[in-house]
Amino acid sequence: MSSLVRMRLLPSAQCLYTQPVRVLVDGLRSSQVVTMKARATDDKGVPFHASAVYRADAGGAVDLGREPSLGGSYTGVEPMGLLWSLRADALHTKFHKTDSRRPHVVRFSVHDGEAGAGPLLAEATNERRLLADGVERQPIKEGNIRGVLFVPPGEGPFPAVMDLYIYGDGLSERRASLLANCGLMVLTLALYGHDDQSKKVTKLHLDYFEEAIQLLRKHPKAMDSGVGLISISKSGDLALSIATHLPNVKATVSINCCCSNVAIPLFYRGSQICSPLMYDVSKVTVTKSGALNVKHSLHDPLAPENEGSLIPIERATGRFLFVAAEDDLNWDSCLFADQMTERLRRQGKDNFEKVVYPVAGHYLEPPFGPYCPSSFHGVVGAPVAWGGEPKAHAKAEMHLWNKIQEFFRTHLVPEAGAAKARL
């Protein structure tokens, strides 16, 4: 390692997961070509890596926020490119960062030459924390509820949100903890209400989520303005059903979801309230990577025979933020978002917003995590392509993260409590 070359991470080598970091290298020769590398390991012990080729400026410096990458995992000026372009060696591998107590540790290095095999010139480690100072992490095992509650520092009261994550991923703390860093009190929920999350689920019961809402609302630091919901994919249609059939839901973020109850029958107080919309396997295609494209495999939710699966969202009293990615290959999220907004308009409703991301894929998550092109799908039982172009997908995640906070701030925080919420 050269004693003349220095790598710096600004403003600090330690930061929160959603905070950008400026990567600077100086002490190089004028116009020297170098390879920047990033390495990280997820919560399952799977290694991820990325690299990009840069040419130093006349003063022998490389600033990832100013100089363009000439090749490697991405090209162009991408200040956070080494983070969102991290990939595992094995195909169909999703980055798992679910435990909020463990930071996302990324090791940056700079090497001489464009092949990446040249001598190590400098290195630095970026520790990206999921929990801000003072945020409390409280495991919940009360009644039927299994989850983790994140409470911001201070006396409150705080707007309360329930985080429902995608079917098959179990309990994930990442999004919930990061939202708590922004001043929200967030309960991330194990969706199925039992300790053995590996059991095959044949029914879903709204009673479980009703119990969770009651638990969240009775917390002494919760605002009494109602709760919010945030969800993606299968948990998205579940959130729509919760907002439709249960009281006290004021704001629902539904990311890349269907307008019908998908795959699993939904019950409430012992009776089935929604039949499942199922798949037509004959419409599944195979991508070049070997992953399945299931975008058009769902049956038509508007067909008369599927009427029992449609979620009557016009009955909901809260607000909706429908998020759709045009290149979602899991299902036709844009079509479903259009169907939902049209249904609400026909009923004279204006309690919704819609945001569409043109070249993004299915897994829209908090920003600066590795982009996932495909991974194993629990319902399908095989690797599925999620779609999206990595660079556009990363930009969509940055925009959406701010949009989510703005949505909850607007619809969950009474004007008098806005200062206390510190969003």
Query: At residue 194, what is the residue type?
Result: H
Confidence category of residue 381, pLDDT binned at 50, 70, 90? confident
Q: How large a percentage of the chain has pLDDT more than 90?
A: 89
Q: Say which of 42, 327, 328, 332 is annotated catalytic.
A: 328
Question: Which domains, from first to last, does the chain contain?
Answer: 6-129 (2.60.40.2240), 136-421 (3.40.50.1820)
Predicted local confidence at residue 343, as pLDDT? 96
Question: Over 50: is that where the pLDDT of 418 sits?
Answer: no
Question: Over 50: is that where the pLDDT of 421 sits?
Answer: no
Question: Over 80: is that where the pLDDT of 197 sits?
Answer: no
Q: Say which of 233, 241, 260, 297 is annotated catalytic.
A: 233
Q: Which position has the token pair 């701030």?
A: 409
Q: What is the DSSP letter of 313?
A: G
Torsion, Cα 82 88 91 94, to 10 degrees, reads -90
Catalytic residue flag (residue 327): no
Question: Over 80: is that where the pLDDT of 118 sits?
Answer: yes
Phi and psi (nearest 5°) for 210?
Answer: -65, -40
Catalytic residue flag (residue 328): yes
Predicted local confidence at residue 193, as pLDDT? 43
Q: In sequence order, which residues have a C-beta less than 8 Å from that of residue 342 and are 6 or more positions away?
A: none
Question: Over 90: is that where the pLDDT of 198 sits?
Answer: no
Strand bridging mode 33-41 / 145-151: unpaired
Stretch 327-345: mean pLDDT, rounded? 97
Contact 137, 148 (CB under 8 A): yes
pLDDT tens-digit readout, 270-280: 999 999 999 99
pLDDT tens-digit readout, 69-102: 999 999 999 999 999 999 999 999 999 998 999 9
Confidence category of residue 262, pLDDT binned at 50, 70, 90? very high
Q: Say which of 49, 92, 104, 362 is annotated catalytic.
A: 362
Question: Over 60: is that where the pLDDT of 250 sits?
Answer: yes
Q: How large a percentage of the chain has pLDDT more than 70?
A: 94
Predicted local confidence at residue 422, as pLDDT? 47
User: How far is it, in rounded angstroms, from Cα 222 to Cα 406?
Assistant: 19
User: How far is it, in rounded angstroms, from Cα 291 to Cα 386?
Assistant: 9
Catalytic residue flag (residue 233): yes
Stretch 317-337: mean pLDDT, rounded? 97
Confidence category of residue 19, pLDDT binned at 50, 70, 90? very high
Question: Over 50: is that where the pLDDT of 12 sits?
Answer: yes
Q: What is the pTM of this model?
A: 0.94
pLDDT tens-digit readout, 57-76: 999 999 999 999 999 999 99
Give the closest residue to 374 by CA, choosing from 296, 287, 263. 287
Stretch 240-263: mean pLDDT, rounded? 97
Question: Over 60: is that where the pLDDT of 169 sits?
Answer: no
Predicted local confidence at residue 268, as pLDDT? 98
